[in-house]
């Protein structure tokens, strides 16, 4: 499984907001009357992605007050809405608009969503009215009845809108847009790409380094980084569509979703401790969804047949059995080591609604939550309980818009919260459909003759022979995701993903063979499935020449059968899906 390890970096100051981070230790309250917001949760999120406060709305019209911890950088903060009831429970809903440019809010093409740094310590927003946008009622936004005097109205803080509605609302930010500007500053993490190479904070290979700030919990020294745009943090809005990066499926507003976009930065959030502006941390959420039983048992694909054809019922059953959701650990904030970590869902049906402590990381170095089992790290003695065991149904499948919050307590007695959604969730697997040794002649894999087994329906696996100098050609269906709210259709083929053979149980094992990673360059963007003409991808594996008998392991491939996994991973942030295949080496 993929490990997501948190790394630490500094938060540096640069124009245009250098003067903004000068006063420290100030607390803020934001009060409003929410109209039409029953079953929504209001989040106060800093401009760099820290969760400052939250409040659930339980009545049709309700007065709320959000109280922040001490912070020196209220500028750039936004109010965000998450559904906490109904069919979209736990899904991100939309932003709060604090004002608009021009005389008519209903005609505005620019709106304001951020608080200014000079905001009052007691922000009073008056009435915020909820506007439903999508036909399903899963998306919308709120708007203030009058422009707030505490809104940041500068050009750099404006959001693109259509008739007062932020452009990203209705598609979770999928719709392409053009950024108005670059807003503010933030931080990078150790190991991130940088330039120019060969400087004090950028090594010869073009990756961030810096001065060590001391080893957290006995781990190797963390590193301080350099300045990057605040737009690249979870609280930023790179394409100015009104949807913060934490909830935007297309951060930069191009034609490529983040899951397939190599330019998408690692999810980062930054904090200040009320005294010093500091600390960027990675906060990643992704899913692992693998079919690694023999005979292709448990494999689901939208183009499959019989029990292998994906539908809501068998997806729910398979996800309950095999899906894990992974959260990266945060080991240090503002120079102080983390001593306790807690996690919850923000109204998410299958997650704890209150913070539950994560007592240890898993052997992979992160937190791997087996949702169906209600366990963290495993169902054996190595695991521990997190929430309750959960059986998914056809109407509550996990989505990329499900929202989670992590809280950490540091050795210096401070608390920090961070929030985000996964952005993307696998619901099907890659599926092998044919194989050959010359790229011309193929043998089809027959999924129609099934056998019942404890793992479910399976088939008699074909014997796939490969000689020492032969190339294995494989035809495979791409995995899919469910259509997100605002899209047509049910399933979308995933575009731009990476396909890699992993040999954890080989003869002998060599692990992941990165030399044979193939990136899908044929499909440029996620595409609705076409059952009349299924889309396939052809993989070319020179296993003997690229995986075995090569540095650094220099392991010889022994004759006989061995199990291979095909790992499918996003080119951008995300998780992985896999299918097992048995290959026999013939000497």
Mind listing the pLDDT tens digit for each residue in 5-50? 333 333 333 333 333 334 457 899 999 999 999 999 999 999 999 9
Domain-by-domain residue ranges, the chain? 16-185+232-266, 431-585
Average of per-residue pLDDT across 76-88: 93
Tokens of 179: 């950024």
pLDDT, residue 229, reads: 65
Which residues, 6 or more positions from 296, have their beta carbon under 8 angstroms from its beta carbon? 308, 431, 432, 447, 458, 459, 461, 579, 580
How far apart CA 399 and CA 251 sit, in angstroms, is: 18
Residues for the chain: how many in total? 587
Tell me the mean pLDDT in the region 186-190: 35
Work out whether strand 576-585 and strand 464-466 pair parallel, antiparallel, or are unpaired: parallel
Residue with tokens 């429970």: 89
Instruction: Reply yes or no on whether the pLDDT at 181 is more than 90.
Output: no
431-585 belongs to CATH 3.40.50: no
Q: What's the number of CA atoms in the CB half-sphere (13 Å) around residue 443? A: 9
pLDDT band at 497 (very low <50, low <70, confident <90, very high): very high
Distance CA 445, CA 436 (A): 11
Tell me the β-bridge partners of 539.
474
Residues 277-294 as b or e (16 or more Cβ within 10 Å = b): bbbbbbbbbbbbbbbbbe
> Which backbone phi and psi does 7 adopt, to 5 degrees?
-130, 160
User: How crowded is residue 515: how many other Cβ atoms within 10 Å of its Cβ?
Assistant: 13
Q: Would you say residue 175 has pLDDT above 50?
A: yes
226 pLDDT exceeds 60? no
HEC-encoded secondary structure of 270-283: EEECCCCEEEEEEC
pLDDT digits (tens, 9 = 90+) for 394-420: 999 999 999 999 999 999 999 999 999
How many CB atoms are located within 10 Å of the residue 270 CB?
28
**Strand, helix or coil for residue 217:** helix
- Its pTM stands at 0.86
Amino acid 204: pLDDT = 52
* Residue 253 pLDDT greater than 70, yes or no: yes
pLDDT band at 261 (very low <50, low <70, confident <90, very high): confident
- Average pLDDT of the residues in 259-266: 79
Q: pLDDT per residue over 525-560, tens digit each?
A: 899 999 999 989 999 999 989 999 888 888 888 999
């Amino acid at each position: 499984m993929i490990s997501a390890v948190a790394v630490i970096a500094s938060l540096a100051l640069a124009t245009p907001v250098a003067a903004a981070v000068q006063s420290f230790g100030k607390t803020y309250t934001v009060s409003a009357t929410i109209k039409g917001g029953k079953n929504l949760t209001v989040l106060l999120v800093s401009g760099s992605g820290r969760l400052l406060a939250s409040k659930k709305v339980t009545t049709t019209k309700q007065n709320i007050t959000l109280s922040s911890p001490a912070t020196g950088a209220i500028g750039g903060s936004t109010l965000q809405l998450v559904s906490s009831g109904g069919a979209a429970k736990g899904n991100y809903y939309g932003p709060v608009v604090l004002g608009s440019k021009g005389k008519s809010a209903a005609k505005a093409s620019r709106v304001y969503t951020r608080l200014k740094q000079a905001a009052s310590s007691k922000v009073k927003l008056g009435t915020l009215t909820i506007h439903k946008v999508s036909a399903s009622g899963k998306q919308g936004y709120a708007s203030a009845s009058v422009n707030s005097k505490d809104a940041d109205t500068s050009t750099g803080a404006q959001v693109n809108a259509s008739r007062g509605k932020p452009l990203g609302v209705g598609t979770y930010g999928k719709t392409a847009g053009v950024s108005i500007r670059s807003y503010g500053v933030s931080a990078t993490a150790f190991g991130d790409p940088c330039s120019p190479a060969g400087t004090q904070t950028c090594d010869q290979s073009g990756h961030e380094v810096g001065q060590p700030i001391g080893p957290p919990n006995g781990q190797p020294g963390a590193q301080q980084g350099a300045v990057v745009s605040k737009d690249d943090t979870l609280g930023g809005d790179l394409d100015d569509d009104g949807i913060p990066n934490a909830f935007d499926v297309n951060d930069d507003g191009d034609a490529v979703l983040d899951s397939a976009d190599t330019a998408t930065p690692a999810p980062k959030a930054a904090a200040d401790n009320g005294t010093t502006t500091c600390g960027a941390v990675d906060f990643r959420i992704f899913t692992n969804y693998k079919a690694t039983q023999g005979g292709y048992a448990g494999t689901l694909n939208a183009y499959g047949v019989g029990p292998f054809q994906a539908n809501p019922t068998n997806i729910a059953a398979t996800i309950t059995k095999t899906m894990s959701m992974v959260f990266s650990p945060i080991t240090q904030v503002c120079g102080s080591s983390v001593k306790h970590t807690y996690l919850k869902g923000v109204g998410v049906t299958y997650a704890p609604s209150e913070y539950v402590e994560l007592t240890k990381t898993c052997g992979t170095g992160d937190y791997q939550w087996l949702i169906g089992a209600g366990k963290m790290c495993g169902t054996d003695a190595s695991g521990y309980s997190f929430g309750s065991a959960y059986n998914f149904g056809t109407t509550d499948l996990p989505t990329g818009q499900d929202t989670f919050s992590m809280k950490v307590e540091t050795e210096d007695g401070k608390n920090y919260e961070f929030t985000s959604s996964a952005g993307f969730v696998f619901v099907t697997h890659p599926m092998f459909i044919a194989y050959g040794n010359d790229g011309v002649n193929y043998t089809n894999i027959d999924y129609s003759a099934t056998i019942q087994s404890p793992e479910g329906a399976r088939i008699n696996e074909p014997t796939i022979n490969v000689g020492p100098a032969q190339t294995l050609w494989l035809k495979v269906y791409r995995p899919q995701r469910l259509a997100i709210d605002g899209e047509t259709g049910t399933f979308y083929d995933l575009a731009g993903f990476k396909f890699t053979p992993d040999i954890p149980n080989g003869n002998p094992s060599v692990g992941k063979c990165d030399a044979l990673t193939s990136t899908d360059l044929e499909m440029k963007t996620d595409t609705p499935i076409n059952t009349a003409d299924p889309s396939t991808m052809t993989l070319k594996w020179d296993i003997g020449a690229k995986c075995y008998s090569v540095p650094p392991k220099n392991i010889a491939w022994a004759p006989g059968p061995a199990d291979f996994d095909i790992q499918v991973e996003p080119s951008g942030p995300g998780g992985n899906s896999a299918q097992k295949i048995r290959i026999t080496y013939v000497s």
